[in-house]
Structure 1
Amino acid sequence: MYQSEIRVTGGFRNHYGVHQAVWSLFPGPADARRDFLYRLETPDAAGTVRLLVQSRRRPVSGPLAQVATLETLPLAAVSEPGFRRFILVANPVRTHSRRASGRRHGARRPLTEAGARDRWLTRKVDGAAEVIEVRSQVLPPFRFRKPREDFRRGCIQPVLFQGLVSVVDGARFADLLCNGIGPAKGFGCGLMTVTPAPTQPAQNMPPGA
């Protein structure tokens, strides 16, 4: 696995442009499946869009996005059982049935209550890790427009999760890190990054916001 910092250029005005720029880092067949995750970082003073990208393939700089830094992610080491601090931007939703929503494939509704968001995360990592501490914060929505689909518009409500987990199954946790958590992965959600934590976690993390 590779982990890279990416600079996006081109003055994109919506998240679909960023989505396309990330795809451009991995040239290949048009029908290739997505094998990367990314997270939007805070733009710098000059307004440059910066991304953290995790990928199975090595990214290649191009006119839309440039690789600023690149390193190999030691997946086996970071997924070993033990405590990990984590950061995750995800899209916690509840899916309503086709009958209830009146839509062909059902409808996803964002989880707006802090407790519901945190329980969603606990369910998503169940069997791979135990959530020890978590706080969550609603971020500004991701709005996008797809010009090749009659300018279809969409909106994703991302949430920033931070906290501490105890990895209990290394293989399953590695799968979560590789494949992401929750929907909207093609639009900057689902990437969990982790760092080692002390064996005795502090008990002073504030409750979910």
Structure 2
Amino acid sequence: MYISMVALKATDSYEQHQAIWSLFPGTPERRRDHLFRVENIMATSEVSVLLQSATEPVSSEKSTVLQSKPFNPTLENEEFYKFKLVAYPTKCISQGKKVIEIKDENEQVAWLHRKLSGANVTVTALDSFLVKNKKSFNSRFVCFEGILQITNAEQIYQALIMGVGRQKHAGAGLLSLAKSS
């Protein structure tokens, strides 16, 4: 795997999705093997994103790889980690036929605990923001930050690799961990 910082010439989430795919040329349509998170919006109508991918990204007309390095995380039970996750908390209603956003902060934190059930999670910061998309509806993403203690390393590793929740194509789901000292 690779972890990269990338500059995208796109501010709309659909355009960002297309720009991210342009980093992997010559690959047939396949299952997504990357996750990304917008880190900041630059004055030049570009955005800086953190990208985690199975293959190394290559700069394109729509995207510039600023830096990239191999990434091979090892997680240990009982260890403490700082975490950051931008997610799209949702719940199914009507026997799973309709999906709605979770807007209540306490319910959002409960959703996070369910998604990261392989760890004891303490949320220290929570912020929500609207993500614009010209192709479909706008979504309210939530940025969770805090500390987690791993109780099931394999379960958290899967969340790290596969992402958490919905809207991964639009920049949600990338879980970042840093060992807490």
TM-score (norm 2): 0.92
Matching of residues 70-85 of structure 1 within 5 Å: 70-76=68-74, 79-81=75-77, 82-85=79-82
The list of structure 1 runs, each at least 4 consecutive aligned residues, that deviate by more than 2 angstroms after superposition, is: 27-31, 44-48, 132-135
Distance 1:133 1:8 in 2: 30
Instruction: Judge conservation of contact 1:117–1:136 (CA < 8 Å) in 2.
Output: no
Q: Secondary structure at the match of 2:134?
A: strand
Cα offset for 1:72?
1.6
Distance 1:33 1:166 in 2: 31
Distance 1:58 1:13 in 2: 23
The residue number in structure 2 matching 1:114 is: 105
Instruction: Judge conservation of contact 2:109–2:123 (CA < 8 Å) in 1.
Output: no
Cα offset for 1:107?
2.2
1:142 counterpart (112, 131, 136) = 131
In percent, how many aligned pairs have the same letter?
A: 29
Distance 1:92 1:7 in 2: 26
Cα offset for 1:16?
0.5
Task: For residues 104-127 of structure 1, give each alpha carbon's deviation from its aligned partner in whole angstroms, at most 9, with x where no partner exists.
Answer: x7222111111100000000011x
Give the counterpart letter for 1:94 in structure 2: K
Instruction: Judge conservation of contact 1:118–1:134 (CA < 8 Å) in 2.
Output: no
TM-score (norm 1): 0.80
Unaligned stretches of 5+ residues in structure 1: 99-104, 147-152, 199-209
More strand by share: 2
The residue number in structure 1 matching 2:61 is: 63
Aligned-residue CA RMSD (Å)? 1.6
Unaligned stretches of 5+ residues in structure 2: none
Q: Secondary structure at the match of 2:67?
A: strand
CA pair 75-159 structure 1, distance change in 2 beyond 3 A? same
Distance 2:91 2:148 in 1: 23
